[in-house]
A = this chain, B = another copy of it.
């Protein structure tokens, strides 16, 4: 049966050695004498042998895979983070699995937490219950889970929000509003706190806060709410907790005939690629998404490698000033 995949014994037989030796050539070549190694390598070539990972993993008691638990795979914010993780994991011989925590249902998430399916987890969803993740390598990226002790890779959300609001204040705005993320979310809270703190420090009134959920559509709704306010009560600058919401907000406002930044300055958060090309180009806070992914992956690998527990990593953000924010009064 030539359609049968050759196994290690086939190689061993052809090379006239034991399976042990073949295995050694595969995973630890330098302990085999050069002549034998040559012999085995020839046999491998001739048979077209390919290692069976399931067997190796079983013996090694590992899986060779790590999973990223993402709250919403279709959100472009995450795709670049995944790219960063993939860039680190592939060379290290690890598979990157992805799971959408909303789609999958709690059960499936629990499934991924099983040691026999993955060697570790990168959690990007702060809303997961802390106890579904057993006692195993976990790294929290971007979001975090309040009860859970695990290394975190993220940015200083509070300081970043402060930076954003200070930019608006520096432009002379005094009535500054905020469109927050979903209630209960850790990022929502940190960014709101940062915004409030900045206003307070400047002696400005607390922000008008509208509720969103990071999505485009919720930003659009916030735009509608803003428009519905009497003109003299509208904040003249808005800081939104995500770029997606900022896009929705600006879209709604401009489709109704007003202009950004003439009628309202808008500040986003994330710096997703597209917003640099909008009209107006969005001022925002840049998160180093690729780097977040890379560091999270690296951190997880070191934990899998046995390091007791890695350090938290806080990556720097950058204020990106573009055309959606302007000095007040701007008309």
Contact = CB atoms under 8 A, between A and B. Distances in A.
Interface of A: 5, 50-55, 57-58, 61, 63, 65, 67, 72-76, 78-80, 82-83, 86-87, 90-91, 95-100, 103-104, 108, 114-117, 216, 219-220, 244, 247-248, 250-252, 254-255, 272-274, 276-279, 281, 290, 323
9 contacts: A52-B116, A54-B116, A55-B58, A75-B79, A86-B100, A90-B99, A96-B97, A254-B279, A278-B278
Contacts of A103: 83, 86-87, 90
Given A52-B116, A73-B82, A103-B87, A277 B290 contact: no
A157 to B, nearest CB: 22
Contacts of A278: 247, 251, 278-279
Contact of A86 (B82, B104, B115, B290): B104
B95 A117 contact: yes
The 3 closest A-B pairs by CB, nearest first: A76-B76, A251-B277, A73-B83
A73 B100 CA distance: 16
B74 A79 contact: yes
Listed residue (A76, A99, A290) with the most chain B CB atoms within 10 angstroms of its CB: A76
